[in-house]
Amino acid sequence: ANCQCKVAPRERSNCGHPGITAEECRRAGCCFSASVPGVPWCFTPKQRRVRKVCPTDVRARVNCGFPGITAEQCEKRGCCFKSHPAGVPWCFYRRTVTE
């Protein structure tokens, strides 16, 4: 993703050989920017940030509990708890989101 290539020039880690083209660099999964002399033009992208969130869409809820589970019991499992609406899991797994 483009946001992964927003690396300060002084923080760039070389990802290619001298004379590598932009196309070769990108094919290798690296970022390319020749705008700053004296720093690597082909460089390693930033790591993707991953976090777990409670889904807002009730249709995306995957049951993580059992009938009658309390909010405290659910949260101790690392899951989300929302006691409404009826007919969907109230204790449900978090979803992994990549930023």
pLDDT in tens, 5-41: 999 999 999 998 989 999 999 999 999 999 999 999 9
- Architecture of the domain whose range is 50-98: Irregular (4.10)
φ, ψ for residue 74 (rounded to 5)? Answer: -65, -50
Kindly indicate whether the domain formed by 3-47 is annotated with CATH number 3.40.50.2300.
Answer: no
pLDDT band at 1 (very low <50, low <70, confident <90, very high): low
Among residues 74, 16, 68, which one has the least CA distance to residue 45? 16
Summarised one tens digit per residue, pLDDT across range 39-52 is: 999 999 988 778 89
Q: What pLDDT, on a 0 to 100 scale, did the predictor assign at position 48?
A: 77
Domain ranges within the chain, ordered by starting residue: 3-47, 50-98
Of 7, 13, 14, 4, residue with least CA distance to 48: 4
- For residue 20, which of 6, 10, 30 has the smallest C-alpha distance? 30
Cβ proximity of 23 and 72 under 8 Å: no
- Residue 20: both structure tokens together: 């590598």
